[in-house]
Amino acid sequence: YWFIGEIIFIIFFLSFIFFNLRQKTKNRTTNIPETSKEKIKYFITYLFRIVGFGLSVFFVLSIIITIERSFLSIITETAPTPSQVNIPADLGFEVQEITFESEDGITLSGWFTPPQNNATIILLHGYGGNRTGMIWHAQQLTQHGYGVLMYDERASGESTGEYRSYGWEDTQDVKAAIQFLTSQNANENIGALGCSIGASIAVYSTALYPQIDAAWGDGNSSVRAQDLSTPKNIFMAFIIGSNYLLDWMYTIKLNIDAPAPLSDVIQEIEPRPLMLVGGGIEHPIMGSEADLFTLRFYELAGSNAQVWVIPQATHCDGPFVIPDEYSKRMIQFFDEAFNITR
């Protein structure tokens, strides 16, 4: 219904502009030049006025819609997304149903499988989902002896919380996950792996917490507007502008200071291994995910970083388009990070 409301608003806005413009020109007497030279000059001037007016209307509408869309995003992207999580019959590995608390009192619900090779991977799902979004990754890892800790992010799935924070406050939950693994004597080798916002949380947390020994981020997005690349067209300029507005709105909604951009902290991961994965399929306006985020973060990270652009992928769909190669690379990355031989 929100989109319909936008269309109605645009129609009323343009009708109002047209009506007022018509009223102003209705009573205006215009002397049409008689000579050809004066007529050409008149029509060129008139044409420039029409173009200028159209551009002005477009600019004003764009600003209004940008503000309106940002306001809508704040409402929808911070709202909790609770869901019931059941253990699938075909999960393929044993899990313990566990809960642990973050330092601000949020209770996080998840599954834990102890490691067989002294290495455990914290799995972080995409925004608005729950731990089941990382089952495929968990299956590949546990088949090769890795332990996994997969939990519902704050205000998602079965975890508590009044609002989601687009990853801004989720790093403290990863800290709580590390403390949980320590209590289970499963902290000898810890890795972090995430998809989409989960990837941003995984990489950002690795920069903050030296207890994480390696990170795999698939589909990293921006944490702050400064993480976005220089705009290549006017549409991207509006998108980046709206992200600066969103950052300001988030600070008000969440009542916290904005974290540093991921682009400012990613180099803190060095010398620990880091893999950045991105889709290579082009979007007509924004370009590919790899161009927009992955390659930018790779250039800012240290020599420890690796990058993998999957040409036939869009966003976090590598496990579906090339499952065998994805699994092989993922296991090989963590095996090398933890000096595991097979």
- Do 212 and 178 share a structural domain? yes
CATH of the domain at 213: 3.40.50.1820
- Do 331 and 276 share a structural domain? yes
User: Vertex 109, ends 103 and 111: CA angle to 5°?
Assistant: 120
The verdict on residue 168 lying in a domain is yes
How many whole angstroms separate alpha carbon 291 and alpha carbon 281?
10
The verdict on residue 234 lying in a domain is no
Question: Which pTM does this prediction carry?
Answer: 0.85
Give the CA count within 13 Å in the CB-facing half-sphere of 18: 6
- From 78, 107, 130, give the residue that closes a domain: 78
Tell me, letter by letter, the H, E, C secondary structure of 142-197.
HHCCCEEEEECCCCEECCCCCCCCCCCCCHHHHHHHHHHHHHCCCCCCEEEEEECH
**281, 314 in Cβ contact below 8 A?**
yes
**214, 333 in Cβ contact below 8 A?**
yes
Q: In the prediction, which pLDDT does 78 show?
A: 94
- Do 207 and 62 share a structural domain? no
pLDDT per residue, tens digit, the chain (342 aa), is 555 665 666 676 667 666 666 666 555 555 666 677 777 777 787 788 777 777 777 777 777 777 777 788 888 899 999 999 999 999 999 999 999 999 999 999 999 999 999 999 999 999 999 999 999 999 999 999 999 999 999 999 999 999 999 999 999 999 999 999 999 999 999 999 999 999 999 999 999 999 999 999 999 999 999 998 777 777 778 788 888 989 999 999 999 999 999 999 999 999 999 999 999 999 887 889 999 999 999 999 989 999 999 999 999 999 999 999 999 999 999 999 999 998
Q: In the prediction, which pLDDT does 30 show?
A: 58
The verdict on residue 250 lying in a domain is no
- Do 142 and 21 share a structural domain? no
User: Which candidate, 202, 182, 185, places its Cα nearest to that of 273?
Assistant: 202
Question: What totals of helices (H) and strands (E) does the chain contain, helices first?
Answer: 11, 10
- From 30, 59, 78, give the residue that closes a domain: 78
Peptide bond into 271 cis (omega under 30): yes
Q: In the prediction, which pLDDT does 27 show?
A: 55
Q: Which residue has the tokens 């300001």?
A: 248
- Do 94 and 63 share a structural domain? no
- Do 101 and 44 share a structural domain? no
- Do 17 and 91 share a structural domain? no
The type of residue at 26 is K
- Do 184 and 62 share a structural domain? no
Q: In the prediction, which pLDDT does 220 show?
A: 94
Radius of gyration for the alpha carbons in the chain, expressed in angstroms and rounded: 26
97, containing H or E segment: strand 96-101
- Do 294 and 209 share a structural domain? yes
The verdict on residue 243 lying in a domain is no
State the residue range of the domain holding 300. 87-223+259-337
The verdict on residue 240 lying in a domain is no
- Do 191 and 324 share a structural domain? yes
Q: In the prediction, which pLDDT does 288 show?
A: 93
- Do 96 and 52 share a structural domain? no
Q: In the prediction, which pLDDT does 71 show?
A: 81
- Do 103 and 21 share a structural domain? no
Q: In the prediction, which pLDDT does 14 show?
A: 65
The verdict on residue 115 lying in a domain is yes
The type of residue at 153 is E
248, containing H or E segment: helix 234-254
The dihedral through the CA atoms of 194, 197, 200, 205 has a sign that is negative
For residue 119, give the DSSP letter: -
DSSP 35-82: SHHHHHHHHHHHHHHHHHHHHHHHHHHHHHHHHHHHHHHHHHHHS-EE
**123, 216 in Cβ contact below 8 A?**
no
The verdict on residue 249 lying in a domain is no
The verdict on residue 210 lying in a domain is yes
- From 78, 99, 123, give the residue that closes a domain: 78
Specify the number of domains making up the chain.
Answer: 2
